[in-house]
Structure 1
Amino acid sequence: MQLFSKIYTCKLLHLQGKPTKVRFSNEGKLSMAQHQQNKVRLQLRMSSVSLLCVSMLAVLALLSIFMGPLLDLDQFPHPSLVHRRSLTLKKQPEHLQTSLSNTSNVPTQADIWKSKFSEFYYGCSDSSTRFAPAVPEKDANGYLMIAASGGLNQQRTGITDAVVVARILNATLVIPELDHHSFWKDRSDFADIFDVGWFISSLLSDVTIVKEVPEKVMQEIERPYTMRVPRKSSQHFYHNRVLPMLLSRRVVKLTKFDYRLANKLDADLQKLRCRVNYHALQFTKPIQEMGQILVNRMRNKSRRFLAIHLRFEPDMLAFSGCYYGGGEKERRELGVIRKRWKTLPEANPERERRHGKCPLTPEEVGLMLRALGFGNDSYIYVASGEVYGGEETLKPLKALFPNFYTKDTLSNSRELEPFSAYSSRMAALDYIVCDQSDVFVTNNNGNMARILAGRRRFFGHKRTIRPYAKKLNSLFLNRHNMSWDTFAKKVQACQKGFMGEPNEARPGRGGFHEFPSACICEKPDAGEKIKEIIKQSKSKKKQAQESAGETVELHSENGANGSNDTDPLMDDSEDGTPRQQQLNHDMNSEEVTSTEIEDPEIEELLSD
């Protein structure tokens, strides 16, 4: 700046060209010779100044050519990239600004878009030879009706478990009823969302399914016997409590049927769950076709893309009890919504944040992905409802990832008209795009996140990233106290075990819909090949560290993509807790929170 100031001063003097004041002699006159001499001196002085300015400009031009610009504008990010907890997008002080110019240099020791171990596993849901054929309708113990509750994905879990319960009871299953009175206010029936014919025929050898109870039977019983079973009921419970009622009443209807079957079942019943969820439940042709159109349009823009389920709607934030820095306005608005659930305790934002219950802001999701190694040229599809704070809240994420698309921007109102009035059908479109994305990113552990995580594991362990909010929240709060490289490395360390790797969870840990371990098999000789990959990775890492003059530490290569070269779940976390123990505790504690609450409206909210 001093250099530019001198140049500016020189030019100013030259332009002004003010004559120097002359002093007159006592006689009041100056000789013509003296005047001419002063004039020559002034011209020489001005010529010297001009020459100096020209010389300086020439030097600057040469520096610019050979050394590049003196100021690298990439070192000063757009104000919207500044860390903030507030949703109001107020301009932050300069010391909070973080440079993202070196994001492309974040170490990615393997393909961040795909696990290098995924090729060694495959989905396996065929029944064993011990699994008997379905009982014909005339020989069944009765008719089982179920009323699924909540939104699309909560209903999906209920439908899946209903088929298994019908198998346990040797009952004929009636096509499930969908909830028309929930928070989502969707009047769609089963046939409006799922292919009924395919559902019945694909499960023909497992369970007999009919569209309705025969009229003759209904005339004899007048109405079905209605009951509601506890959460996560065992096979033993259904045999002892439900079967006697089915045998005596002939038709039993189970209400609010979601998560009403135990997580742990016999292997053949678990595989039946997978056949229902991953094969039998297919969307109707109009939904499938529109969903595929959206996928194809994303593929036309880029050969690979990320899908992000933001889940940053006002109702979700109100339910979480978290605070995002929006002042009294935010507290008032979310407080009004929170009063809808009378069973919720008083909000405690700090406690919820410590426990990892607060969804990340859209900006934080974007920063996490950039820290993991995804460049700003990556294409993202965002599945979300009404984002709290609207476009202002999304601005930082769009600045981090300019190639930002939704189903609304990929299509027009005419194309979406058949679906737009129905929340479940719109959710189905997002489901299809998220399922077929190269990388799926969740922002909470609700039903859509769980269902899709399990499905993506079953179909080839496609990359699924779940933010480890318990660790990331404190990291985001202190982001301005560290360099970008340090921040990126800490994010990568936090995300070990949450990157959708094949061995992130042990059998029996976590919810079955998220970790369908009974339905995932290892290919022959996979063990030896995996060991060889790990050995090669360690060798490359050792060589890289030695060449860089670093201390060599032979721990697992996990880096930006979370690859488990040995087993990251056995590593210790930053606070010394064994990684496996810590992750299992977090998975199980979150499952209890989201699946054992009996408040109907809370159940509906957590659905998607």
Structure 2
Amino acid sequence: MAVDPRQIVAAFLTFSMFALLANMIKEDHFTPTNNVKLPGPPDVQYEKITIPEPRFATLPKESTGPWAEDDVQVEPCWTRPAPKEVEQSGFVTFSLTHGPEYHISQIADAVVVARYLGATLVLPDIRGTKPGDKRDFDEVYNVEKFVKSLDGVIKVTKDQPAEVAAGKIAVVRVPNRVTEDHISEHIEPVLRMKGNLRLVTYFPSVNMRKAEEKKDVDSVACLAMFSALQLEPELQEVVDLMVERLRTLSRKSGGKFIAVDLRVDVLEKKACQGRTDSGRKSCFNAQEVGVFLRKIGFQEDTTIYLTQSSWHFSLDALKEIFPKTYTKGNIIPIDQKQKFLSSGTVELEKILDFYICSQSDVFVPAISGLFYANVVGKRIASGRTQVLVPSEVSSSSASAADFISSYISKKNHLAHSCFC
């Protein structure tokens, strides 16, 4: 029986098409992207994630976007304070409260006060938002690193002295970024009279801009904020595993991902309603963040991490624009979920959020405040300066560079007085 040549050609074309399709699937799913590491050891398990299909069939390729390279690694500008020649007796105690964005400032103020007074700093405990919710310092932070970093600058004791525990201790309110004049006038007389102090830091305003003139206490504050305070190793490992998980999910963007500080409960508060004196919105919801990121050039397959504790229906608008949008529950190792997400406390969740936002390739503060300000400080210290502040974008040719945080573009953050 004669064979129609057209059938032979059709069969050849069909075979070629399937071969090409198989090659595309192989390239898309099994060829690793450069510089993207698998998250942690092989026995680490995560929640199963289904990667959403693109809306249009396209050849697999690495997506583009307004990603910026990290800055050259910065170096500390501060000079390590010399040991004090004269030291007073007495102890300074305090607690860390409200979350990691407050801890950094509270640590800096306590170290500055103890240094000025020549007193011994008692290692703080960590208080949660609920009564009786208390943790030891070493459950969150690296004690040995803290003590070693401050060696020769101040004395630190890990245990509360008996005379402090037994006696009634004087409580002194301290404004954030306390000055030497304030210590001399309002705190030193109390120490001389009472012998021991308990500090409570308050925040008259969120002021993280660097001072016009450098002062002696600046080097002490820099040391406390950016060298002494580090996560304890096991907690740091969980953060690292989550970051690596996000990078693996971001294969098409070279392992780069965006972290967005967006918490629905905060958006609903009065402070997030209305506008600032300059007419700018104070906070941005999920849809507004999604539209902003799309307009400045991020592609729909961009991976986004949200600080929101668990999924909320209002986040669906962002997921419509960027399908690869995740919260902690999606990316935390399964064996860590109970400890971090089901313990009834938000303090550990805040720790994860703060340090993931500090390590992401891009940080977007949908909410202004101390979390934003102190995350920026950590990012400046590590050279990660792509911080994009949301805005209502009207221009079709908007550039991500137009929305860089003024902390970065004007180099007016406190951290710029600590790093060169």
Q: Judge same fold: TM > 0.5, yes or no.
A: yes
Letter in 2 for 1:132: A
How far apart are 1:115 and its partner, in Å?
5.2
**Counterparts of 1:501 and 1:431 in 2: how far apart (Å)?**
20
User: How far is the alpha carbon of 1:492 from its aligned partner?
Assistant: 3.5
For residue 122 of structure 1, give the secondary structure of its aligned residue in structure 2. coil
Deviation, 1:214, is 2.4
Distance in 1 between residues matched to 2:306 and 2:173, nearest whole Å = 37
1:411 counterpart (326, 332, 336): 332
1:402 equivalent to 2:323? Answer yes
Q: Matched residues in 1 for 2:89 and 2:284: separation?
A: 49
Name the count of aligned residue pairs: 352
Change (3 A) 1:258 1:501: closer
Whole-Å Cα distance in 1 between the matches of residues 379 and 199 of structure 2? 30
Q: Which of 124, 134, 156 is residue 209 of structure 1 equivalent to?
A: 156
- Partner SS for 1:227: strand
Q: Unaligned 5+ residue runs, structure 1?
A: 1-99, 102-109, 323-348, 476-485, 522-608
Residue aligning to 2:122: 174
> For the residues of structure 2 that align with 1:271 and 1:259, how far apart are their CA atoms?
22
Report the TM-score, using the length of structure 2 for normalisation.
Answer: 0.73
Q: Is contact 1:174-1:212 (8 Å) kept? A: yes
Q: CA contact under 8 A between 2:303 and 2:324: conserved in structure 1?
A: yes
* Aligned-CA RMSD value: 3.3
CA contact 1:419–1:425 (8 Å) conserved in 2:
yes
C-alpha contact (below 8 Å) 1:166/1:207 kept by paired residues: yes
Identify which of 303, 309, 320 aligns with 2:260: 309
The AA in structure 1 aligned to 2:66 is: I
AA aligned to 1:199 is F
For residue 385 of structure 1, give the secondary structure of its aligned residue in structure 2. Answer: coil
Q: Which moved further from structure 2: 359-368 or 424-433?
A: 424-433
Decide whether aligned partners of structure 1 residues 355 and 148 sit closer, same or farther in structure 2, where only a CA change above 3 A counts: farther
Aligned to 2:198: 253
Higher normalized contact order (CA 8 Å, seq sep 6+, divided by chain length): 2
Residue 299 of structure 1 aligns to which amino acid in structure 2?
A: R
The answer to whether the 8 Å contact 2:263/2:307 transfers is no
Report 1:136-535 matches (<5 A). Answer: 139-180=87-128, 182=129, 186-215=133-162, 217-218=163-164, 222-230=167-175, 233-257=178-202, 264=211, 266-301=214-249, 302=251, 303-320=254-271, 322=273, 349=274, 355-385=279-309, 390-391=312-313, 393-411=314-332, 413-420=334-341, 421=343, 422-468=345-391, 472=392, 475=393, 487-489=395-397, 491-492=398-399, 496=402, 498-500=403-405, 504-507=409-412, 512=414, 516-521=415-420
Percent identical among aligned pairs is 24
Q: Shift of the alpha carbon at 1:425? A: 1.4
* 1:147 Cα offset (Å): 3.1
Structure 1 residues 446 and 230: CA distance shift in structure 2, 3 A: closer
Give the Å deviation of 1:111.
7.6
Q: Deviations over 1:304-331 (max 9, x none)?
A: 3333334332244223252xxxxxxxxx
Higher alpha-carbon deviation: 257-266 or 226-235: 257-266
Instruction: Please identify the structure whose Cα radius of gyration is greater.
Output: 1
What stretches of structure 1 move > 6 A for 4+ residues in a row? 259-263
Secondary structure at the counterpart of residue 201 of structure 1:
helix
Please give the secondary structure, in 1, of the residue aligned with 2:106: helix
Q: Map Cα deviations across residues 485-505 of structure 1 (whole Å, 9 max, x no partner).
A: x6432x438x62x41588612
Distance 1:501 1:375, change over 3 A: farther
Structure 1: how far apart are the matches of 2:102 and 2:301? Answer: 34
- Tell me, in whole angstroms, the C-alpha distance in 1 between the residues paired with 2:220 and 2:177: 17
SS at match of 1:488: coil
Other-structure match for 1:556: none
How far 1:233 sits from its partner (Å)?
4.1
Greater share of residues in helix: 1
Query: Counterpart of 1:160 in structure 2: which amino acid?
Result: A
The alpha carbon displacement at 1:143 in A equals 1.1
One-letter amino acid of the counterpart of residue 148, structure 1: L
**SS of the residue 2:198 aligns to:** strand
Q: Distance in 1 between matches of 2:164 and 2:105?
A: 27
Residues 121 and 157, structure 2, Cα contact 8 Å, conserved in 1: yes
State the 1:299 CA deviation.
2.1
Summarize deviations over 1:541-589 as a string: whole Å, max 9, x none. Answer: xxxxxxxxxxxxxxxxxxxxxxxxxxxxxxxxxxxxxxxxxxxxxxxxx
Check the 8 A contact 2:297/2:399 in 1, yes or no.
no
Separation in structure 2 between the aligned mates of residue 380 and residue 506 of structure 1, nearest angstrom: 26
The 2-side partners of 1:465 and 1:226 are apart by 40
Call closer, same or farther: CA 1:114–1:272 in 2, change over 3 Å: farther
SS at match of 1:462: coil
Distance in 2 between residues matched to 1:314 and 1:412, nearest whole Å = 25
Could you report, residue by residue, the CA deviation over 1:152-194 in whole angstroms, capped at 9, with x for unpaired residues?
A: 31123111221122112222111123334x3798533322211
- The one-letter amino acid paired with 1:192 is E
- How far apart are the structure 1 equivalents of 2:405 and 2:280? 19
Q: 2:34 corresponds to which residue?
A: none
Give, as a single letter, the amino acid of the residue that structure 1 aligns with 2:351: A
How far apart, CA to CA, are the structure 2 residues paired with 1:356 and 1:234? 32
Deviation at 1:506, TM superposition (A): 4.8
- State the distance in 1 between where 2:160 and 2:327 align: 41
Return the offset for 1:353.
9.4
CA offsets, 1:78-116, max 9 Å, x none? Answer: xxxxxxxxxxxxxxxxxxxxxx99xxxxxxxx9832258
State the partner residue of 2:68: 114
| Residues 307, 440 of structure 1: 8 Å contact kept | yes
* Maintained 8 Å contact 2:110/2:199: no
**Residue of structure 2 in register with 1:51 after alignment:** none
Q: Are 2:105 and 2:176, in contact at CA under 8 Å, matched by a contact in 1?
A: no
Deviations 1:374-393 (A, max 9, x none): 11122222222356xx22x1
Letter of the 1:313 counterpart: V
Deviation at 1:244, TM superposition (A): 1.6
CA contact (8 A) 1:312 1:384 kept: yes
CA distance in 2, matches of 1:435, 1:453: 7
Do 1:147 and 1:178's aligned partners in 2 also have CA atoms closer than 8 Å? yes
